Structure 1
Amino acid sequence: MNRLTTPFGSCELTRFPEDPRDRLRAWDAADEYLLRHLDSGTGERGPVDLAGAGQITVLGDRWGALVTALAAYRPAQITDSALTHAATEANLARAGAPAGSVRLLTTQDAPPERIDVLLVRVPKSLALLEDQLYRLAPHLHEGTVVVGTGMVKEIHTSTLKLFEKIIGPTRTSLAEKKARLIFCTPDPGLLSAGRAAGDPWPLRYTVDEDGGSGAGLTVVNHAGIFCADRLDVGTRFFLQSIPTNTAGARVLDLGCGNGVVGTAVAVADPDAEVVFTDESYQAVASARATFEANVRTDRWRAEFLVGDGVADLPPGSVDLVLNNPPFHSHQATTDATALRMFAQSRKVLRPGGELWVVANRHMGYHTHLRRLFGNSEVVASEPRFVVLRAVKREKRPRPM
């Protein structure tokens, strides 16, 4: 846990799930730069009168640092991450913020009707930024204050062009501690065009004949989903290996993304019950759309969950887990998410149940699986990727 000191007060912040061994902070220099600017005008613009500003909306606040610092002004937070919502709730409670002081919204929810101050933490996904700016533009007005923030490495010419194209004239601040601010002046003509101006999301494509058990499926991707316009190499390899003769099993597509893996199982085995889960609201919306584009929803059984892995599933309730784990958390490279997914999988599997994982070969997940499950088998491999299988064994009674 680390303490963030801002012009609006000091608060202790953590990421979610909380892990005392986690050395990554819940904020960075970009968050600090934006908060200093809002108070003093640092960054070539005057201070913002937050008390009289009206509706403040924060897009992309990663762990709730911005809305926790600004809780007294009753902002709305828009995020694609259920983990961000959980972190925000915990950080607000720790800071003593009154219940309901921050309105928590997802990227799939309708935005506030009128937005007077829009603060944007630039996301890793340029597509997600594009989609959200299109969604928010009709709710801005000529007097809306729009300020973005990000680390220098996160703000590119393409980032600025999106603000310019969808909202209005855009420029950046000088860099401070490798962070930069974005200032955008709303153009009434662009705002009135809003979403009708041509938001391309969601995208749809058909998996080609080399897509293994996914061949011929229609895939729907909302903005922000990895490899949105085609099947990524790892998933393609996974679809050539996953078991599809599941004999009516309960199957979990863990970290489902666009849901093509779980949908492939459902199409191959109409008796299977498939659970799609992801911490991304965009991902679960994509998975639902992909599933519905390929199956008769009145016959097949499916469940769609947004949240922290398997938190909503009872222990021992799943026969098969299929997992293509991420190895990034925003800009940081880490195996922490994958290892947590493996532990969650073991908990939710029935005795004899199986976890199938596709991963970059260099991640060395077979060692972790062997330590956790007591076994690990290579099902398929190629120079870049490997498919691994681990089985949850029956517990043997200890000898008397």
Structure 2
Amino acid sequence: MNRLSTSWGAFTLTRFPEDPRDQLRAWDASDEYLLGHLADGGTDLSGTVVVLGDRWGALVTALQAADPAELVQVSDSYLGGQATSANLARAGAAPDAVRLLTTQDPPPERIDVLLVRVPKSLALLEDQLHRLAPAVHENTVIVGTGMVKEIHTSTLKLFERILGPTRTSLAVKKARLIHTTPDPAAAPGPNPWPHRYALPEDTPAPGLPGLTVTNHAGVFCADRLDIGTRFFLANLPGGLGRAKVADLGCGNGVVGLAVALHEPEAELVFTDESHQAVASARENFRAHGGAGRTAEFLVGDGLAALPPGSLDLVLNNPPFHSHQATTDRTARRMFADARRALRPGGELWVIGNRHLGYHVTLRRIFGNSELVASDHKFVVLRATRT
């Protein structure tokens, strides 16, 4: 555990799930910069303070000690929300000290201070600024923060177009602040999210070519079918019968949808830690999964909500980034989670870049790994629960 020192006190913070071997902190220099600016500048925090994109709850955990009238966190991440709750409890905050909203929830009606931790996804930032803009008034204090490498000209243009005139601060410890003056006359136009597009006619899965899919902002490759998913779709297992199948880290749910269309008796579970992703998967399944067909949709920590031995097949395209950090930690947790949730004889099918070496990790966790398909960039691997 690490301690974040602020003008409102020092706070012990962790990511979620807690792992003593994890050397990554639950905050960075941009969080410190923003908190220091708010304290040093005497920002009035007595009204409704909304924090967007607070990755592990560092900002709201510190700010709740300033006792605002209302403190709201808006997050797309289930894991981030769990970390926030744990960090607040560790800090001794009252249970109602922070209102935790997801990116799918209705936003607050009034915002007096808007603090934005710039997300990795520019699309998610655009969508959320559009959603929050109606609650901003001419006296709202708007401050964004991020590492220098995360703040681009396109980032600043979004703040300016949607909220008002924008400038940036000097860099401190490779972090920068964004200052925006609300413009009541701003006319940003309609929110372009969610985005919809037709799957290519050569999509390699029965029933998918030409279907229109819905993608909420922040979902991986929200404007096209990515090449990894395309390769996975070309190499999915068949003959599943009444199997219970999980699309783990489902994104927009196209992989699980392909199974549903080709395997009419299969039982589907779509799960992701992103609220935006699960909302996309739900809409796509309801639109194309078949009349009267049902599926389970879970926003959560992988397959943790499912009983051990309850699945026959897990399909997984794991991410290999955690915000700006490149790591296989998420993939390892997903693989171990899949092994727990699979029945004996059940299978995990994984797609990944060749260089990631997932076959080694699968052998360590399952005791076996088999190459199903490969090309110059990707491999599809199968591991069986013994």
Equivalences for 1:129-140 in 2 at 5 Å? Answer: 129-140=125-136
Q: Determine the structure 1 residue equivalent to 2:195.
A: 203
The alignment status of 1:257 with 2:257, answered yes or no, reads: no
Q: 2:236 aligns with which of 242, 262, 268?
A: 242
The alignment status of 1:81 with 2:77, answered yes or no, reads: yes
Q: 2:180 aligns with which of 181, 184, 190?
A: 184
Per-residue deviation at 1:31?
0.2
Per-residue deviation at 1:209?
3.0
Query: Would you say the 8 A contact 1:272–1:301 is kept in 2?
Result: no
The alignment status of 1:40 with 2:34, answered yes or no, reads: no
Query: Would you say the 8 A contact 1:171–1:182 is kept in 2?
Result: yes
Per-residue deviation at 1:9?
0.8
Compared CA separation, residues 320 and 232, structure 1 to 2 (3 A): same
Please provide the CA RMSD for this pair. 1.0
Q: 1:311 aligns with which of 293, 304, 307?
A: 304
The alignment status of 1:230 with 2:224, answered yes or no, reads: yes
The alignment status of 1:49 with 2:22, answered yes or no, reads: no
Per-residue deviation at 1:297?
4.4
Q: 1:342 and 1:295 mapped to 2: Cα distance?
A: 27
Equivalences for 1:1-400 in 2 at 5 Å? Answer: 1-41=1-41, 47-50=42-45, 52=46, 54-71=47-64, 72-73=67-68, 74-190=70-186, 193=187, 197-213=189-205, 214-298=208-292, 300-393=293-386
Task: State the secondary structure of the residue aligned to 1:75.
Answer: strand
Render the CA deviation track for 1:288-335: whole Å, top value 9, x for unaligned: 01111212342x230000010011100000000000000000000000
What amino acid maps onto 1:31 in structure 2?
D
What amino acid maps onto 1:167 in structure 2?
L
Gaps of 5+ in 1: 42-46, 394-400
What amino acid maps onto 1:49 in structure 2?
D
Per-residue deviation at 1:373?
1.1
Q: 2:194 and 2:98 mapped to 1: Cα distance?
A: 28
Task: State the secondary structure of the residue aligned to 1:142.
Answer: strand
Q: 2:58 and 2:343 mapped to 1: Cα distance?
A: 39
Q: 1:267 and 1:219 mapped to 2: Cα distance?
A: 14
What amino acid maps onto 1:285 in structure 2?
A
Gaps of 5+ in 2: none
- Give TM-score scaled by structure 2 length: 0.97
Q: 1:204 and 1:319 mapped to 2: Cα distance?
A: 32
What amino acid maps onto 2:374 in structure 1?
S
Q: 2:214 and 2:381 mapped to 1: Cα distance?
A: 27
Render the CA deviation track for 1:133-190: whole Å, top value 9, x for unaligned: 0000001101110000000000000000000000000000111000000000111012
Q: 1:212 and 1:351 mapped to 2: Cα distance?
A: 30
Render the CA deviation track for 1:14-64: whole Å, top value 9, x for unaligned: 0001000000000000000000000112xxxxx3021x3x10000000000
What amino acid maps onto 2:160 in structure 1?
E
Q: Share of identical aligned residues, percent? A: 71
Task: State the secondary structure of the residue aligned to 2:123.
Answer: helix
Render the CA deviation track for 1:236-277: whole Å, top value 9, x for unaligned: 000000114311211000000000000110011121110000
Q: 2:58 and 2:364 mapped to 1: Cα distance?
A: 36
Q: 2:199 and 2:177 mapped to 1: Cα distance?
A: 40
Aligned pairs, how many? 381
Query: Would you say the 8 A contact 1:254–1:323 is kept in 2?
Result: yes
- Give TM-score scaled by structure 1 length: 0.94
